[in-house]
Amino acid sequence: MTLTLPSPDSPLKIGTRGSPLALAQAYETRRRLRTAFDLPEAAFDIVIIKTTGDDAALIAKDRPLKELGGKGLFTKEIEEDLLSGAIDIAVHSMKDMPVDQPAGLLLDTYLPREDTRDAFVSPNVKTLADLPQGAVVGTSSLRRRAQLLHYRPDLKVVEFRGNVQTRLKKLSEGVADCTFLALAGLNRLGMDHVASSAIAPEDMLPAVAQGAIGIERRADDTNTAEILAAIHDTPTGQRLAAERAFLAALDGSCETPIAGLCELNGATLRLRGEVLRPDGSESITDERSAPIEDGAKLGREMAEHLLAQAGPGFFDWRT
């Protein structure tokens, strides 16, 4: 087929949320596309879409994500605009993406993955281990909450909703003694100095797909598929194939604390996974390796193993 490239007269419309981090990710996507095809900036339109998850009233409530509607809070309106043709592609933080896409949409383009670690952020202490007994931790992540309480059951964890800037403001106001942010987001915002320290995966396994940017398109838009192929990062896709298969086989919603990280070493994938009770009282982990081509199978097998370890009573809190 003959590739039709975007132009100032017919720009590629890039849909994104309006937070500073979301915009930084959209700008990175635009930059990579411009470089790949030597196109002017005017060949692309950044289209800001307000999602339910961006509603200030919801953010102010500081309630758990699952009570507000799950990960779809940050994608529903964007995907509706993608399906209607109002935008041509959508740029997402992959850790926020449900494992299933709406009919007619595909999520198969990934930019090179950033740092996968969590950042510990505190105005008073350097590391998580330095927190005094009974310190207040602010986080909206079910995974981080469970991991923290498993590691330090003395800590008091409070809900902390909002984008990076909102959470840092709450921290400065003394709502909590510390919080956690994805180091990838801070790096993309040029705010790595905000991190008091980075947390090794051995101490806090990150969220599935943390640090990765995904680009969603209409399944029948073959021209856009060809354009996006030029910026797709294959190693990131190989790692995410294992991680997202693991997540899908366990629980693709936001109702279960799940962590997972796949690393690539030559032709071999190494996957580490963790599932916890929300109160941190129990953590079940696994680690295994497989050839690259078996990534999705690796993720499913690890999920099955962890479910077998967990036993029938592990998820009773969800009923």
Which among 17, 9, 13, 31 has a CA at the least distance from the CA of 224?
13
**Integer Cα distance of 214 and 216 in angstroms:** 7
The one-letter amino acid code at 146 reads A
Task: Please report the beta strands in 59-200, taking only residues with DSSP state E, as ranges in sequence order.
Answer: 89-93, 105-110, 118-121, 136-138, 156-158, 178-182, 197-199
Catalytic residue among 54, 96, 115, 177: 96
Which among 36, 189, 19, 18 has a CA at the least distance from the CA of 115?
189
Compute the Cα dihedral for 70, 74, 77, 83 and give only its sign: negative
In 3-state terms, what secondary structure has residue 259?
strand
Which among 34, 142, 13, 30 has a CA at the least distance from the CA of 78?
13
**Integer Cα distance of 188 and 198 in angstroms:** 15
The one-letter amino acid code at 217 reads R
Torsions phi, psi for 228 (to 5 deg) = -65, -30
CA distances from 315 to 76, 95, 257, 275 (A): 28, 22, 11, 10
The answer to whether 96 is a known catalytic residue is yes
Count of H-run helices and E-run strands, the chain? 10, 13
For the chain, the 3-state helix, strand and coil shares in percent, each to the nearest 5, are 40, 25, 35
Active site residues: 96
